[in-house]
Structure 1
Amino acid sequence: MESAVADTEGATREPVLSLKGVSKGFGAVRALTDINLDIYPGEVVAIVGDNGAGKSTLVKILAGVHPQDSGTIMFDGQVVSIPTPTASRALGIATVFQDLALCDNLDVVSNLFLGREIRNGLSLDEEEMEQRAWSLLRQLSAKIPSVRIAVASLSGGQRQTVAIARSLIGEPSVVILDEPTAALGVAQTAEVLNLVERLRERGLGVLLISHNMADVQAVADRVVVLRLGRNNGDFHVADVSYEEIISAITGATDNVVTRRASAHAGSASAAAAAADASGTGTVESGITEDFRTHETPAPGTEENPQS
């Protein structure tokens, strides 16, 4: 009964962010063609693909950097337009780019509230911002020694933590992480992946751009593959192998060898169909038919010599 209820809820829930037929070109270059993508609340969707697959262009469209040429973007069931980064943030989409865009000379609190400072009259309410900073970092189980330490003194994983925490200040519904574990060590990568888990637990839709298949399989619920600017697979992580994802990324399932094999299989099927139509079959089909029509009689029947 519980599984049936869960299936019903999964079937009726609506995606928080949905792309239908989104395309984008730069002159003669088609960066994206008819992209379809759904992101549900409390779900981590990984976007993977080779260089030039269109991942960065897709992120920039959702972040309001580039408008799409065609297709529709729906947020909470409503068709929306994202002409600017400000419109993207106001909508509820927070983007953490690979370069993080942090101010190294400022402390953690100043980076978190940069452009969104809390004021008490004409002065900044430093105490309130510090309390909120600690509260947010505790919710993410972040390992930051002090919120008054300069960002330049933090490790790569801690800097990524600050960037992700800053994206949550505006209470977004979707968080986009562009290569969050790039150039990080093992311990720092684990720290960032823990943050992704915390975002899922908060009920946010997470779009994860990554080249690291181990990270993808560790935290993602679904994997969407882009190849040459087109959709080339949408897999549930629990149901797909590492090799199948790599095949979709590289196009290994669509090459000269596989096309030749498909052509030979089609020719063999056509020949078999023609043989069946003419009443002549192969030896193998005759043997199979013989076994089908001459089954071993059950004990106790008249055909059984021991009865």
Structure 2
Amino acid sequence: MAATTSEPILEVRGVAKRFGGVQALKDVSMRLMPGECVALAGDNGAGKSTLIKTISGVYQPDEGEIRFAGQPVHFPTPEAARGHGIETIYQDLALADNLTIGANIFLGREPMRKILGVLPVIDRAKMAEAARETMARLDFHVNRLDAPVGRFSGGQRQAVAIGRAIYWKARVLIMDEPTAALGVPEQRKVVQLVRTLKSQGQGIIFISHNLQDIFAVADRIVVLRRGQLAGERRIAETNHDEVVKLMVGG
């Protein structure tokens, strides 16, 4: 899907990050449009994790700036980034396996209602309705919304983590190795989820070592090598061999 506006929802300009004597990022720039998926690729140690943690408020840039919806922003914490609508789904998903979809969506932010106007209790009906609406929005269906997510497949668990992000109004979704350790059918489900998000206008940063998945969902690919921008290509105008050359040099 083409971007829905001419203005980037997220822009990184000349960002640098150092850890002591180690230059983890140097003069890195990238942009993300609404309804676009940008893949972030590179070998281990290329700077991918540092970049997404800088965008999401885990780290503070030493140089450069981050702009969101056209405005410069500073995220002192991940909570500040989430407050702007930037959600990160890490590889471990951070789900509570013993809880339902609804309980995971509201984890730490449980809705309350009062019995007899006095006694506060968790509003489980609201949680269940949120689970139904969110999974329907993703066009992703599970047999039992009241089952603990620990019983779900890998692709279903990814859907729960994505559903939690979009329920809380994520405008930018950072997905860190979302297809790692999944079988081929589950990888296809995650790819379809990303396509659904793009069609709904979310901007997605997709980090993966799997070039097949990158070429299946991304509009552009940004390649990092040793903390620097090695190249940027439109997926329709490149191929696996060119991307690998950018990653390794030469």
TM bucket (normalised to shorter chain) is: over 0.9
Partner of 1:150: 148
3-state SS, counterpart of residue 143 of structure 1 = coil
Name the Cα RMSD after superposition.
1.4
Q: 1:178 aligns with which of 173, 176, 179?
A: 176
Partner of 1:17: 10
Of 103-112 and 31-40, deviating more is 103-112
Partner of 1:242: 240
Larger relative contact order, structure 1 or 2 (CA cutoff 8 Å, min sep 6): 2
Mapped pair 1:91 → 2:89: no
Q: 1:195 aligns with which of 193, 196, 221?
A: 193
Q: 2:110 aligns with which of 79, 104, 117?
A: 117
3-state SS, counterpart of residue 141 of structure 1 = coil
3-state SS, counterpart of residue 167 of structure 2 = coil
Mapped pair 1:71 → 2:73: no
Q: Which amino acid aligns with 1:167?
A: A
Normalised by the length of structure 2, the TM-score is 0.94
* Count of aligned positions: 244
**Structure 1, residues 9-57: CA drift from partner, whole Å, max 9, x if none?**
98x7110000001010111111100010100000000000001000001
Gaps of 5+ in 1: 1-5, 253-307
Partner of 2:133: 135
Gaps of 5+ in 2: 115-119
Q: Which amino acid aligns with 1:50?
A: D
For residues 196-275 of structure 1, the aligned pairs below 5 Å read 196-252=194-250
CA contact (8 A) 1:113 1:169 kept: no
CA contact (8 A) 1:225 1:233 kept: yes
Q: Which amino acid aligns with 2:163?
A: A
**Structure 1, residues 243-288: CA drift from partner, whole Å, max 9, x if none?**
1111101102xxxxxxxxxxxxxxxxxxxxxxxxxxxxxxxxxxxx
Distance in 1 (alpha carbons) for counterparts of 2:16 and 2:181: 31
Q: 1:108 aligns with which of 101, 109, 134?
A: 101
Shift of 1:104: 1.1
Partner of 1:58: 51
Bigger share in helix: 1
Identity %: 46
After TM superposition, what 4+ stretches of structure 1 lie above 4 angstroms from structure 2?
none
Normalised by the length of structure 1, the TM-score is 0.77
CA contact (8 A) 1:88 1:94 kept: yes
For residues 154-173 of structure 1, the aligned pairs below 5 Å read 154-173=152-171
3-state SS, counterpart of residue 104 of structure 1 = coil
